[in-house]
Amino acid sequence: MSYKVCGYLLSDEALLIDGLRRGFGTDETQNARYNTIFRATMDLMVRGEVNGTARICGVLHKGQTQRCLALASTDPFEPFRLPSRRRIEALKKELKTDREPRWYTTAD
């Protein structure tokens, strides 16, 4: 069942580069690459002050599945609301964007 999430699209390549720069791992194997991306994502959530409130999910964007840092959800079984404006601003600073979070449809 698809539902909507409000958040920011994440680039695996950008997360990998950030993770390598921060010393979170390597890209020597596919497993190492995924681990580095995971650690960079968790670090982004901590620095952006949304750890514990945001979720990572797959969404449809331009016909492709892409990773999304979801800040709110319409999931009837696990809905969650946008964090405070202060936290959104902290996350925007870490993402280096002025854009507000957007709504996307989850990938099945």
pLDDT in tens, 28-57: 999 999 999 999 999 999 999 999 899 999
State how far the Cα of 107 lies from the Cα of 88, in Å rounded to an integer. Answer: 24
Beta bridge mates, 7: 70, 102
Residue among 80, 102, 75 at smallest CA distance from 1: 75
First to last CA, the chain: 6
For the chain, residues with pLDDT lower than 70 are 108
pLDDT at position 1 is 80
pLDDT at position 61 is 94
Average pLDDT value for the chain: 95
pLDDT at position 42 is 96
Burial of 19 (0-12, 13-18, 19+ CB in 10 A): buried
pLDDT at position 87 is 95
Domain residue ranges of the chain, discontinuous segments joined by + = 4-106
Beta bridge mates, 69: 8, 56
- Say which residues have a Cβ less than 8 Å from residue 77's Cβ, sequence separation at least 6: none
pTM of model > 0.85: yes
Contact 4, 74 (CB under 8 A): yes
